[in-house]
Amino acid sequence: MSIFAAAFGFGLVSMSVIALAAVGFTMQFGITNMINLAYGQVMIASAYVAYYLNRAGVTIWAGMIAGAVFGAVFSFLLNRLVYAPFQRKNTSLLGMVIVSLAISLMIANVLLPIVGYFSVSYQEHGGSLVRIGDIVLTNNQIVIIVLSVAIMLGIHALLRYTRLGKAMRATAANPTLARNCGIPTQRVIDMVWLITGALCGVAGVVAALNSDSFAIANGAGFLITALAAAVVGGAGQPYGAMIGAVVIGLVTELSAAAWSPEYKEVVAFALLVLVMVLRPQGLLAKRGALAAAG
């Protein structure tokens, strides 16, 4: 029994990491209609930014802030310089998917000569162990969970209680109508890329911190788990992505305990297929894109 309790503890950590990644990814899709397949590579790039700072003696938590800033600026520029011009040219949704995949490939291969193939890890002790019943977690893992919950609450507050959040929801629902009502949709979309980019950066550093080591090849895996959580919950919906993250995080860790940790991503994929066959609109789709909970 204790192995499953331990797995449940890891599940809590994993769902926190996945939620950070998936919420950013799904907001990009929901508000700007852009399936950004370069998301996993931006995560990895941010993780490397934190890595180089960490190696220079900065603590990983300061590195995480740097990663978030990098992710925000990079995603903002990516949208301004590549995605938005293509969207203005009326490139089809499929064309945009191909564009983002090409960008993903380019980021990975610009990084590769700089960082190399080999796995690296942060110089950071996990901190002392904390026991809650059979669940054993390191201090860092507790921090990750708390951080993730705080950011999720922040996203909720942003979307529900602020003018910007309201403008984001309006832009997601109908950009033309939102613009006609006087919402500066261009600026809203810029803000979306900055915020989701920062989430992407934090998610990258946290994911790298949570795994013992990381390498450039992990980008695809990062993307898949974020994607799976987003699609399981209903693509484009932050609350759906949170639920998706909980489901994927728990199921993958429990399956790793019961079966084999090598197939974590395969289990996530199986869940994804199941949802795509049975409920392609995702678990939360009835609520409409970005509708506030409650």
Partner 1 sequence: MNTFYATNLLIYAGVDIIALLALNLQFGVSGIVNFSFIVFQSAGAYAAAVLSMPPDSNPDYSFQVYFGGFQLPFPLPWVGGALVGGLLAIPIGFVALRKLRSDYQAIALLVTSIIANEVINNARPFLNGAAGLALVPKPLQDQLDTQADYYPYLLIGLTAACVALVWFISARIVNSPYGRSLRAMRENELAATALGKNPVAMKMTIFVVGGTIAGLSGAILVGYLGVWAPSTWQYPETIILFAALIVGGRGNNLGAILGALLVPVGLEEVTRLMIRMNLGPPNLIPALEWVVIGLCILGFLWFRPEGVRPERRRVFEGSPDVELVESVRAT
**How far apart (Å, rounded) are the C-alpha atoms in residues 50 and 69?**
10
Tell me if residue 211 falls in helix, strand or coil: coil
Decide the pairing of beta strands 129-132 and 135-138.
Answer: antiparallel
Q: How far is the CB of 40 from partner 1 (least distance, A)?
A: 10
CA distance 205 to 46: 6
Q: Check: CB of residue 69 under 8 Å from CB of residue 60.
A: no
Interaction of residue 77 with partner 1, rule CB under 8 A:
no
Nearer to partner 1, 168 or 228 (CB): 228
**97 in contact with partner 1 (CB under 8 A):** yes
How many Å is the Cα radius of gyration of the chain? 19
Q: Which of 3, 62, 77, 112 binds partner 1 (CB under 8 A)?
A: 112
Least Å from the CB of residue 220 to partner 1: 5
CB nearer to partner 1: give 93 or 129.
Answer: 93
195 touches partner 1 (CB under 8 A): no
Give residues 260-279 in contact with partner 1 (rule: CB under 8 A): 262-263, 265-266, 269, 272-273, 276-277
| Closest distance of CB 136 from partner 1, Å | 27
Residue from 139, 126, 141, 119 nearest 17 by CA: 141
User: How near is the Cβ of 60 to partner 1 at its closest, in Å?
Assistant: 27
Q: Could you tell me if 145 and 16 are in contact, meaning their C-beta atoms sit under 8 angstroms apart?
A: yes
| Binding flag, residue 224, partner 1 (CB under 8 A) | yes
State yes or no: residue 62 binds partner 1 (CB under 8 A).
no
Interaction residues for partner 1, span 232-261 (CB under 8 A): 235
Cα–Cα distance, 255 to 114 (Å, whole number): 36
Q: Does 220 bind partner 1 (CB under 8 A)?
A: yes
| Residue 146 binding partner 1, by CB under 8 A | no
> Where are the extended beta strands (E) located within the chain?
129-132, 135-138
Instruction: Candidates 101, 135, 136, 145: give the one binding partner 1 (CB under 8 A).
Output: 101
> Quick check: 250 and 34 in contact, CB under 8 A?
no
Query: What is d(CA 10, CA 8) in angstroms, rounded to the nearest whole number?
Result: 5
Binding to partner 1 by residue 56, rule CB under 8 A? Answer: no
Interaction of residue 45 with partner 1, rule CB under 8 A = no
Does residue 286 bind partner 1 (CB under 8 A)? no
Smallest gap from residue 94 Cβ to partner 1 (A): 5
Task: Kindly state the DSSP code that residue 101 receives in the 8-state scheme.
Answer: H
Instruction: Tell me if residue 127 falls in helix, strand or coil.
Output: coil
Q: How far apart are CA 117 and CA 122, in angstroms?
A: 16
Contact positions vs partner 1 (CB under 8 A): 35, 37, 82, 85-86, 89, 91, 93-99, 101-103, 105-106, 108-110, 112-113, 116-117, 220-221, 224, 227-228, 231, 235, 262-263, 265-266, 269, 272-273, 276-277, 280
